[in-house]
Amino acid sequence: ETGVTQSPTHLIKTRGQQVTLRCSSQSGHNTVSWYQQALGQGPQFIFQYYREEENGRGNFPPRFSGLQFPNYSSELNVNALELDDSALYLCASSLGAESQETQYFGPGTRLLVL
Amino acid sequence: GQSLEQPSEVTAVEGAIVQINCTYQTSGFYGLSWYQQHDGGAPTFLSYNALDGLEETGRFSSFLSRSDSYGYLLLQELQMKDSASYFCAVRDHTGRRALTFGSGTRLQVQP
């Protein structure tokens, strides 16, 4: 069974640029959530995708957008990057019918905006 | 909205027992989860409590009191590898599986 994978592992961008981060969910998981984790803080929910549809969104501006594909992999796109977007971006997959609050996290993409 | 409070740092020695507390405020409660995150690593699931009481998994136990909006993670027989950040989390109030995390407790285990 393959775990959650993310690419790239690290990324450096400049302010105003756009970035796309990718996530492959754990085998059989149909739900992907994206989180932003600033240094020294807990992960903050960006949005969730369930069967290719957005299934909820946190307090992030529209320049944060996403997609989920038929194989349940997902992308996070951030436009017009700002310095404060520098963070670890985590994706987590879960099984829709799962009864426990278990999400399986990928290793994250560390984004630095200069 | 939702908020969770936990201590920012805890220090303990190898072999000791440490308790990390978490209090939460949420408009809809489904249960309290705990995650461990080593520096540079991904959060990994430790435990989940939906009902009052103690859940034990090896050296780790988690407790929940719904009436007090309070829970804790108990780590026994501490090992150096337990040095990490520990986060409590509740499910989003709309019922989605997205989680709201506390700011984390950094546990340092000393020899």
Task: Please check whether residue A41 touches B, CB under 8 A.
Answer: yes
Answer whether B41 touches A (CB < 8 Å). Answer: yes
Q: Within an 8 Å CB–CB cutoff, is residue A9 touching chain B?
A: no
Residue A111 β-bridge partners: A11, A87
* A84 three-state secondary structure: helix
Residue among A66, A36, A35 nearest A52 (CA): A66
Rounded distance between C-alpha atoms, residue A111 and residue B44, angstroms:
21
How far is the C-alpha of B51 from the C-alpha of B18, rounded, in Å?
A: 22
Dihedral Cα A11, B35, B33, B21, nearest 10 deg: -120
| Six token digits for residue B107 | 């546990």
pLDDT tens digit sequence for B21-70: 999 998 778 889 999 999 989 999 999 998 999 999 899 999 999 999 99
Question: CB-based contact (8 Å) between B31 and chain A?
Answer: yes
The residue among B90, B85, B43 whose CA lies nearest residue A104 is B43
Nearby residues of A84 by Cβ (< 8 Å), 6 or more positions away: A113
Cα–Cα distance for residue pair B26/B36, rounded to 1 Å: 22
Mean pLDDT on B79-95: 87
Task: State whether B97 and A48 contact (CB < 8 Å).
Answer: yes
- Nearest CA of chain A to the CA of B2: how many Å? 12
**In the structure, what pLDDT confidence band is assigned to residue A50 with cuts at 50, 70 and 90?**
confident
Give the pLDDT of residue B71: 97
DSSP readout, chain B? --EEE--SEEEEETT--EEEEEEEE-SS---EEEEEE-TTS--EEEEEESSSEEEEETTEEEEEETTTTEEEEEE-S--GGG-EEEEEEEE-TTS-S-EEE---EEEEEE-
pLDDT digit string, tens, across residues A1-45: 568 999 999 999 999 999 999 999 988 888 899 999 999 999 999
3-state secondary structure (DSSP) of residue A88: strand
